Structure 1
Amino acid sequence: MYDFKLQSINLKNEKEKNEVYRFLEQFQLTLDKDVDYTVVLRDGNETIKATCSKEKNIFKCFAISEDLRGENVTSSLISHLIDKAFEEGIYHNFVFTKPDKIKIFTALNFKLIYEVEEAALLEYGIYDINKSLNKMIDRYSINPQSLKGALVMNCNPFTKGHRYIIEEAAKRCEEVLVFIVEEDRSIFPFKHRYSIVKEGVKDLTNVTVVPGGEYIISSATFPNYFIRKEDDRMRAYQNVDCNIFGKYFCSRFNIDKRFVGEEPYCNVTNSYNQTLKDIMPKYGVEVIELKRKKNDEEFISASKVRELIRNNKMDKVRELVPEVTWNFLNSQLGKEISERIKISNSPH
């Protein structure tokens, strides 16, 4: 690649960013708004001939000019991103890509986790999904031989509705695993969501609360750059996420029931629940949809709690959350988070 040079882009410089946007548009791609590092390959005329980006440990937004295909450009770009991640203390990386690009990445020692018609997820680094789940078993003393029920929750924040669904699962199963979504895209940070739920169900002796890890995927993580239509992107996300849970989590932890709360308001959650119902049976897993708990004839939800906090109706909040959540909200950190909710329009 003589006469070519790799150059990092200043993402705060609109001129430099727009140059990358224009290059990606040639391939019907876009630059995801949440990337934190972008590199380009320029020729002797300073023209961009290839680019890639990352968001934390997720590689994305790849494009290479047709005249450079087969010139080991992908290898150079990936090596550069891996080195950059390494500098940041990140030793395990993911890439979402189109299925027809899988061979390119497996040739660079990425391992395929799962592919669907629209997208594939691969990983690279010091461990893989199977090692990660084995580590969970050891760390949280999970018996892989016993049958279990499972729930995946964000708990942003933990409500009496969450507590009710966990209780119902605990009544129907000898053991229950509650996976708390670990990705920090919520107004309540993961470490606090996790500790609040753990404290909030400690009386349920057959329930184990476990961090979800990197393999329970958030829809917010799923790439915009090559799946432009929101419906297509959501369908791909749901298929990847549900199949990863079935293929890896359910088989490794011996899960035969997945519990979800009925969703009276959110079409996206309804769609996700339906995808679970379609996919889980092929892994021998029953999906049990439970009616949500009500308060004054209104369903309890974390979004409702955040809305009440935003409107400073803390007396109403107290009716919807367990004591452990209420105590957190009245701590110094809880009050700071409440203030952020009041000035934020974010649904998360």
Structure 2
Amino acid sequence: MYDLKLQKINLKNEEEKNEVYKFLESFGLILDKDVDYTVVFRDGNNAIKATCSKAKNIFKCFAISEDIRGENITSSLISNLVDKLFEEGIYHSFLFTKPDKVKIFTSLNFNLIYKEENAALLEYGIYNINKALDKMIAKYEIDVTTEKGALVMNCNPFTNGHRYLVEEASKKCSEVIVFVVEEDKSLFPFKDRYSMVEEGLSDFKNVKVIPGSEYIISSATFPSYFIRKEDERLKSYENIDCNIFGEYFCKKLNIIKRFVGEEPYCNVTNTYNNTLKKVMPKYGVELIEIERKCYEGNYISASKVREFIKNNQMDQVKNIIPEVTWKFLNSNKGKEIREKIQKSNSPH
């Protein structure tokens, strides 16, 4: 092997970070903004010859100079990231990469979850998607012999609109599962969103509320480092997420209907719904789009709730949320979130 030394990059040091930026740019790549740990290999002249990073448990931003490929560099980089995760008490990780790089990582004991035209998602660690779903089935006592419907919701926060969609789904299926997106990229933390949904739907006897797991991917975690164009990145994210749901969740849990709310406002959600319409039938799953609930001529949405909070129109908020959400917004934690929304430039 070349005279290479491994170095951890200080991400707070702009000079060091810019070096990595420039190295990645020479491969047509970028350093994603959410990375929290980066390492490089330097040669005898102190020039970067290889790098990789992670964001929580997602490996990303790999690049290796042509002249040192085949020198077990990838394996060394991966080992360093895995050791770092172990230090942090994390024993399972994901990797997004280009489809032509899949063989490299499967040779290093990564398992392919799904591959599409521009991207592939792999995983590594002490469990895999099938084991995770088996555990979910056991923990939440899911009867896999019963055909069921499903909804995936973020609920940032839980509104009368969300409740209405579940109510409509519960009329069309003997069992319904509501998956609450687990990724903590929202103003309302997952733990609180989950509690609001669970309590707010407790009167529906044929509805189970379940954490979405790591496998219902958040667009916030999808990398931009190797897919620079936003529209291509969004398309790849949607394809991977929808196909994972069909290939694994629907098959394992006997889901035959997926419900979504019509999306009159958000273009991203609308294109996601269109992707679901194309993908779900491949797995024998019916995609059912339900018109959203209205209040005073406007569709109810979580973004509308946040907008009302920002403008301190709490009387309007009360009209479009269930009692459980109102109680949370008036708790100490809820008041802190309200203040954060009011101080922000835009409600996210």
Give the length in aligned residue pairs: 348
Query: CA separation in 1, counterparts of 2:209 and 2:346?
Result: 27
Query: CA separation in 1, counterparts of 2:32 and 2:268?
Result: 21
Q: Classify 1:87/1:39 alpha carbon distance in 2 versus 1 (closer, same or farther; 3 Å).
A: same
Query: CA separation in 1, counterparts of 2:345 and 2:281?
Result: 38
Q: Which residue in the other structure is 2:316 paired with?
A: 316
| Residue ranges of structure 2 left out of the alignment (5+ in a row) | none
Query: CA separation in 1, counterparts of 2:218 and 2:128?
Result: 18
1:338 and 2:338 are equivalent in the alignment: yes
**1:47-69 C-alpha deviation (Å, 9 max, x unpaired):** 00000000000000000001011
Secondary structure of 1:31's aligned partner:
coil
**1:23-81 C-alpha deviation (Å, 9 max, x unpaired):** 00000000000000000100111100000000000000000001011010000000000
Q: Which residue in the other structure is 1:242 paired with?
A: 242
CA contact (8 A) 2:247 2:283 kept: yes
Q: Which residue in the other structure is 1:296 paired with?
A: 296
Measure how far apart 1:91 and its partner are.
0.3
AA partner of residue 187 (structure 2):
I
Query: CA separation in 2, counterparts of 1:304 and 1:131?
Result: 38
CA contact (8 A) 2:37 2:55 kept: yes
Secondary structure of 1:312's aligned partner:
coil
AA partner of residue 99 (structure 1):
P
Query: CA separation in 2, counterparts of 1:265 and 1:341?
Result: 20
1:218 and 2:218 are equivalent in the alignment: yes
CA contact (8 A) 2:11 2:17 kept: yes
Bigger Cα displacement from structure 2, 256-265 vs 336-345: 336-345
CA contact (8 A) 2:152 2:178 kept: yes
Q: Which residue in the other structure is 1:263 paired with?
A: 263
Measure how far apart 1:345 and its partner are.
3.2
Q: Which residue in the other structure is 1:252 paired with?
A: 252
1:157-176 alignment, distance < 5 Å: 157-176=157-176
Q: Which residue in the other structure is 2:73 paired with?
A: 73
**1:156-197 C-alpha deviation (Å, 9 max, x unpaired):** 000000000000000110000000000000000001100110
Query: CA separation in 2, counterparts of 1:284 and 1:43?
Result: 54
Measure how far apart 1:347 and its partner are.
4.7
Query: CA separation in 1, counterparts of 2:188 and 2:245?
Result: 24
Q: Which residue in the other structure is 1:60 paired with?
A: 60
Secondary structure of 1:32's aligned partner:
coil
AA partner of residue 290 (structure 2):
L
| Residue ranges of structure 1 left out of the alignment (5+ in a row) | none
Secondary structure of 1:216's aligned partner:
coil
AA partner of residue 223 (structure 2):
P
**1:111-169 C-alpha deviation (Å, 9 max, x unpaired):** 00000000000000000000000000011110011000000000000000000000000
Query: CA separation in 2, counterparts of 1:242 and 1:346?
Result: 29
1:140 and 2:145 are equivalent in the alignment: no
Measure how far apart 1:259 and its partner are.
0.2
**1:253-278 C-alpha deviation (Å, 9 max, x unpaired):** 00000000000011111100010000
**1:60-112 C-alpha deviation (Å, 9 max, x unpaired):** 00000010110100000000000001100110000000000000000000000
Query: CA separation in 2, counterparts of 1:287 and 1:114?
Result: 21
Query: CA separation in 2, counterparts of 1:56 and 1:255?
Result: 31
Query: CA separation in 2, counterparts of 1:19 and 1:221?
Result: 24
Query: CA separation in 1, counterparts of 2:236 and 2:210?
Result: 26
Measure how far apart 1:244 and its partner are.
0.1
AA partner of residue 315 (structure 1):
D
AA partner of residue 309 (structure 1):
I
Q: Classify 1:62/1:346 alpha carbon distance in 2 versus 1 (closer, same or farther; 3 Å).
A: farther
**1:271-299 C-alpha deviation (Å, 9 max, x unpaired):** 00010000000100000000000010000
1:265-280 alignment, distance < 5 Å: 265-280=265-280
Query: CA separation in 1, counterparts of 2:264 and 2:345?
Result: 22
Secondary structure of 2:265's aligned partner:
coil
Measure how far apart 1:346 and its partner are.
5.0
TM-score normalised to the size of structure 1?
A: 0.99
Q: Which residue in the other structure is 2:109 paired with?
A: 109
CA contact (8 A) 2:2 2:68 kept: no
Query: CA separation in 1, counterparts of 2:153 and 2:315?
Result: 25
Measure how far apart 1:3 and its partner are.
2.0
AA partner of residue 86 (structure 2):
F
AA partner of residue 129 (structure 2):
I
Query: CA separation in 1, counterparts of 2:35 and 2:344?
Result: 22
Query: CA separation in 2, counterparts of 1:249 and 1:309?
Result: 35
Query: CA separation in 2, counterparts of 1:24 and 1:107?
Result: 24
Measure how far apart 1:2 and its partner are.
4.8
Q: Which residue in the other structure is 1:191 paired with?
A: 191
Secondary structure of 2:52's aligned partner:
strand
Secondary structure of 2:44's aligned partner:
coil
Query: CA separation in 2, counterparts of 1:68 and 1:3?
Result: 11
1:208 and 2:208 are equivalent in the alignment: yes
1:287 and 2:324 are equivalent in the alignment: no
Query: CA separation in 2, counterparts of 1:238 and 1:108?
Result: 27
Query: CA separation in 2, counterparts of 1:164 and 1:242?
Result: 23
